[in-house]
A and B are shown apart, each in its own frame.
Chain A
């Protein structure tokens, strides 16, 4: 098994993929879900209601609250998919009940931006 479930759940949605790590506190607007860091390749895009595929979270420990706020403001991604676990993303998703899975580099590379995917942490395939 190469896919690891960190926070259980199911989700079906469009992949929004970036190869840049995300600093949730600095780069994401906690009310709207828009990316406001102009150096980030998702700048001015919203992560609301997508399956967010990114390498891992970085930076401030308070980013976990940003993830929780996104969920409370109905602006959170449907699910998150990372290449590497980081404490901010893991604990934020755990508290906010946002499904989170960790995948290998090969699987990460094979996911296409804009495609619809389904995540089911309880099924055999998960993706």
Chain B
């Protein structure tokens, strides 16, 4: 990879340890993807915020880094482990609270916008078409490339951090006009959001860096986010196009494939509590949920995850009151994935409509998962 003289100097450590580290990551990733040079990016979105996911090693790394590091471009942040407004309702130990606070402080010291959201594409205005960004959260990277008309790699926590600190990223395939060489044909009648989540999970397993999907008629917000979340979980694919490319190889996604994924991720016939929001819910979905819950209330605990700014809007528009009346716990700044708020000591299994959530609840939280689409959750679990 060709570096400018300044980039070369930074890589050699002439501009300090922070930039040396950032350029070491950019050069390794650039070399790995045969990028010929680095290009400027306008927005970085970082993952690696929840103490549950990054642990002591991550906390110490960020604490040391933030002593002198500053972001060089607009940078936003993924969810952390809890919502400060209601954290006392959960059994989190002092150590967790302290370490999570330290992580939060480190990012803020570096000049990161404390958005604590995995759906930056719904809560911030998107820059103009074709803008180069670096999104680490996988659902957000896929959404940005596929729906948001932006360009990003499916960044890792460290490659996005390196982009944030330098304002640069390797010019690799997904940043160019990458065209898919595989088309997945959806062969399922009346798909719901879970069908799309499983389609994403299926696509992630078999596709390269991008994929075409044909046979999709109405992709609403809920299904679209479910697709992005599922795809990000199972593979390296960072973009989909709703199209049938005649020249590409074809694979069918049918009831048999759907059932296989369902069997892999659904490990329980029922659940002790419900989680909604992986990815976090936007205002449209909160509004939908409020109308679906009219004159109903949950028979079990139901945790609803949404960004802080969405919760504030939902309060103004009274949706939040309606959800709380129906028994929902609204949580901001955190999300279903690897949440410390669900502990296998207290909970055997969780009901959710999220494919991404199901994978991490099962493997990381170690609880059983009962997968159901939202309409079925409301039908079965409310009175």
Contacts and interface: CB of A to CB of B under 8 A. Distances in A.
A69 interface: yes
Interface residues of B, number: 46
B232 interface: yes
B156 A87 contact: yes
A62 B338 CA distance: 11
Nearest to A37: B363
A37 B61 CA distance: 27
Interface stretch (A9-17, A46-54, A90-98, A115-123): A90-98
Interface stretch (B22-30, B123-131, B284-292, B296-304): B22-30
A28 B348 CA distance: 21
B233 interface: yes
Which among A56, A64, A71, A73 has the greatest number of chain B C-beta atoms within 10 A? Answer: A64
Contact of A94 (B28, B55, B160, B264): B28
Given A91-B162, A95-B158, A27 B31 contact: no
A65 B55 contact: yes
B33 interface: yes
A58 B235 contact: yes
Interface string B38-54: 00000000011010011
B158 A91 contact: yes
B57 A58 contact: no
B21 interface: yes
Given A87-B153, A91-B159, A92-B158, A65 B28 contact: no
Nearest to B160: A61
B47 A36 contact: no
A86 B236 CA distance: 7
B121 interface: no
B363 A61 contact: no
B28 A60 contact: no
A7 B312 CA distance: 46
Given A23-B233, A94-B29, A95-B21, A87 B155 contact: yes
A25 B21 CA distance: 22
A59 B233 contact: yes
A64 B233 contact: no
A76 to B, nearest CB: 11
A26 B204 CA distance: 15
Contacts of A23: 233-234, 359, 363
B86 interface: no
Interface residues of A, number: 41
Interface string A72-109: 11000000000011111011111100000010000000
Which among B136, B137, B141, B366 has the greatest number of chain A C-beta atoms within 10 A? Answer: B136
Nearest to B135: A61
A82 B232 CA distance: 20
B48 A59 contact: no
Contact of B154 (A31, A87, A95): A87
A6 B32 contact: yes
Contacts of B61: 68
Nearest to B233: A59
A39 interface: yes
Contact of B31 (A6, A37, A69, A87): A6
A23 B362 CA distance: 13
A63 B338 CA distance: 12
A119 B313 CA distance: 56
B11 to A, nearest CB: 12
* Smallest CB-CB A-B distances: 8 pairs: A85-B32, A72-B57, A94-B28, A91-B158, A61-B136, A69-B57, A64-B156, A88-B156
